[in-house]
Amino acid sequence: MVSSLSNKKVAVVTGSSSGIGYETALMLARNGFLTYATMRNFNKSENIKSIAAKEGLPIHITQLDVTDRVSINNAVTAISAETGRIDVLVNNAGYVLEGAFEHLSMDEIKAQYETNVFGLIRTTQAVLPIMREQKSGIIVNISSVAGRLGYPGGSAYISTKFAIEGLSESMSYELEPFGIKVVIIEPGVIRTNIFDSVVVAKKSKDPNSPYTQITQKMASSFEGMMKNASSPELVANIVLEAVTNDNPNLRYLAGKDAETWLDAKRNMSDKEFYKMMKQNLM
């Protein structure tokens, strides 16, 4: 437990309507954080609200669309007016754009960055003045094992996660003197709605695309990986471990698959790794 009921730490989670964000908001609330479960669509708040009511959890639902600066500012202003502080920000909102690189339109790529990268930047920049003022805080950025390695059909999504890795690593140096920590979470394949909400690039849907064979093979590889997918609770537990640690790591892997891939990446040459990935995925 974090602290007494009258003096709870305040956590803000983006994308709490499902999956990792939903479980993380519940996990933080169950462990004593006054938790603002933010989501872009209030209509998706019924489940978390009813669990919070049943268990008596300190959860508030707040509207926040990471692509909308006004929505972010309204949410952060309201939270800080209510609580006077923000101790934890979990940047979780995201989705996957899939498709062969040649087929990605600029609009599709920009939309992917608007949510996964610029959304994280906007939200973090809105929260940082509060953390800097209070001289403490922790920013948790949900990256992915896809922030450390590439695979076919994933260049857009993967590049957003590589961007998050670079932003986070650089920010950590700047923020440490102000008592603010940065943590990167790198999940492997996690059983959530993300696979149902994948956006497939328009041109990649053409069955006559020269990349069809590669993208179909990749899709069936993912189906296989889903069988051994980890639960979103596992990721939520790792977030909890990081935010309750006085001296957290910069990076946390989440899932056995993530550990296996990263071990291979560390222990193989680029050529060996490329060959192994090709054999496994294509």
Ligand X SMILES: NC(=O)c1ccc[n+]([C@@H]2O[C@H](COP(=O)([O-])OP(=O)(O)OC[C@H]3O[C@@H](n4cnc5c(N)ncnc54)[C@H](OP(=O)(O)O)[C@@H]3O)[C@@H](O)[C@H]2O)c1
Site residues for ligand X per CB under 6 A: 14-15, 17-21, 39-41, 44, 65-67, 92-95, 115, 119, 142, 144, 187, 189-190, 192-194, 197, 232
Burial class (CB within 10 angstroms; exposed 0-12, middle 13-18, buried 19+) of 170? exposed
- Name the token pair of 9: 């730490």
95 is catalytic: no
Nearer to ligand X, 8 or 238 (CB): 238
Amino acid at 259: E
How are beta strands 88-91 and 10-13 bridged, if at all? parallel
**Taking the complex as a whole, how short is the minimal distance between the CB of residue 5 and ligand X, in angstroms?**
28
CB of 7 to ligand X, least distance (A): 29
Residue nearer to ligand X on the CB measure, 14 or 80: 14
- Find the helix packing angle between 119-134 and 69-83, rounded to 10°: 20
Query: How far is it, in rounded angstroms, from Cα 143 to Cα 186?
Result: 5
d(CA 267, CA 198): 31
Determine the angle formed by the axes of helices 270-281 and 256-267, rounding to 10 degrees: 140
Nearer to ligand X, 57 or 234 (CB): 234
Residue with Cβ nearer ligand X (196 or 246): 196
d(CA 28, CA 199) in angstroms, rounded, equals: 30
Question: Minimal distance in Å, beta carbon 109 to ligand X?
Answer: 16
Q: How far is the CB of 236 from ligand X (least distance, A)?
A: 10
In the bound state, the residue with its beta carbon closest to ligand X is: 19
Nearer to ligand X, 99 or 187 (CB): 187
Q: Which listed residue (22, 157, 211, 252) is catalytic?
A: 157
* 179 torsion bin: left (phi>0), alpha (psi -120 to 50), beta (else): left
Q: How far is the CB of 271 from ligand X (least distance, A)?
A: 26
Chain CA centroid to CA 156, Å: 15
Q: Which amino acid does the sequence have at 140? A: V
Catalytic residue set = 157
